[in-house]
Chain A
Amino acid sequence: MLILVGVIVVAVVKYQNRYKKHLEEIEDLRTSYDRELLYAQLEIQERTLRTISQEIHDNVGQVLSLVKLNFFSIPPQADINVQNKVDLSKELITKAIYDLRNLSKTLNPDYLKKQLFSDLIQAELEILRRSGSFQTTFIANGSERSFESQKQLIVFRIFQESINNIIKHSKANTVSVTIDFNDDKADLQIKDDGNGFPLSQTEDHPRGTGIGNMIFRAKLIGASLDIASEVGSGCCIRLQIPKYKTL
């Protein structure tokens, strides 16, 4: 009788162990599938952005350059008002071409992968500063190392998403970005002095929402994303990115 009970108990325990392993395998498969799906989505997204970037550069940029050329070929006007308008138009066209060129670059994944990450951050903060609505600071500590190109692209998109959120929702005046390059990881912090938001808003963000995408992209590259915020106290986003590109 005891042997019988023993056999049954051992069988149940062994089944339970196999059951746990089975659940873990299913979870791994699910995670792997989600990862592949997201990579595919990101690839499609980046291809679209590349196409838009090329269209901006090849079509819109070219047209504006021709417009600029036409304006610069207008001889000086006797009427001061007309001349002022021509000069203003030249400035605006030049600014538009400059902004479009920057936009084209930040959309183009091939360009982003080749740049130093700190240069990309500074360029993005420069655009923010030129809008006149924000004061920005950027501090880079440690010696900069390159990320894997795909990882750099994903981290930069997370950074862009957080900047977009600051522009759209925070009503902040100051944005400060710090990046620490350590031996085995990089630590990126983005702080603003805006309205802030209750943290519970971030806990159930599904994929497809801005924060949801940030969290999922961070998981995809094995990074950890922490969001600290309180109403009235601004927001601090911290992204810890493991491992660099091995040269």
Chain B
Amino acid sequence: MLLSFVISAVFFKRDRDLRLISILLLLSVLTETIVYTRYILSNKTEVLYFIYHIFIPLEYLLLTMYLQKYVGSPFTRKVMLWSIPVFVLASLAISWSQHFRYPGWNVNAEGILLIAWVIIVLFTLKPDRSLFILELPVFWISVGLLTYFSGGFFFNFIYNSLLEKETTLASNLNWMINKVLNCLLYLLIIVGYLCLRRSLSRRY
């Protein structure tokens, strides 16, 4: 995550669209830093899930703002933009009803929407005259998001219940699934940024 943030900072000024991703990565780094610091200070007994309940709506806002730029249909773009306030309110309502525990339901609700937007983007992406799809940053970021949210979908639903019954198993699964998916996501974001460097040198 830190590496992807550093790389995004290098390219911050060079692509306007990717600035949203850069801001998101900065927020991710800050969130994880706060959560991890609290976790260490509390002798590894308490995870500050509350922070994630604030982070997730912001994450959805930034990702949807980024993805809507690549959708051709004005109607779909409007739907995506209108979904932001709807999701923020729904997410806060879910957080309240779940007592700000692990935000599995929030992540899944976010995931369903983002998977839909990502699929729309991938299937309607306008051809760039000089670049193949594998050279487009949006492709790699979209694949990363698709992998991350679909990969953790079922686990997110059951995590809170599993945590109450089998704490060790839940922690181990969380480490395996979430961490691996996170690594994959940030790796693909890095690939996207590296493609940006290549695409900037080939454009005219």
Residues of A within 8 A of B (CB): 4, 7-8, 10-12, 14-16, 18-19, 21-23, 26
Contact = CB atoms under 8 A, between A and B. Distances in A.
B146 A15 contact: no
Nearest to A13: B133
Interface of B: 119, 122-123, 125-127, 129, 132-134, 143, 146-147, 150
A23 B127 CA distance: 9
A11 B127 CA distance: 12
Contacts of A16: 132-133
B122 A19 contact: no
B143 A8 contact: yes
B118 to A, nearest CB: 9
Contact of B123 (A11, A19, A23): A11
B123 A14 contact: yes
A8 B139 CA distance: 9
B122 A8 contact: yes
A7 B119 contact: yes
Dominant secondary structure of chain A at its interface with chain B: helix
A23 B130 CA distance: 9
A15 B143 contact: no
A18 B150 contact: no
Contact of B127 (A4, A8, A12, A18): A18
Contacts of A11: 119, 122-123, 125, 133
A4 B125 contact: no
Nearest to A21: B127
Contacts of B126: 18, 22
A4 B147 contact: yes
A12 B133 contact: yes
A26 B133 contact: no
Nearest to A19: B127
A4 B146 contact: yes
B129 A23 contact: yes
Given A11-B122, A16-B133, 16 more contacts: A4-B146, A4-B150, A7-B122, A8-B122, A15-B122, A15-B125, A15-B133, A18-B126, A18-B127, A19-B127, A19-B132, A19-B133, A22-B127, A23-B127, A23-B129, A26-B129
Nearest to B128: A19
A4 to B, nearest CB: 6
19 contacts: A4-B150, A11-B119, A11-B123, A11-B125, A11-B133, A12-B133, A12-B134, A15-B127, A16-B132, A18-B126, A19-B127, A19-B132, A21-B127, A22-B126, A22-B127, A22-B129, A23-B127, A23-B129, A26-B129
A19 B134 CA distance: 12
Nearest to B136: A15
A19 B123 CA distance: 12
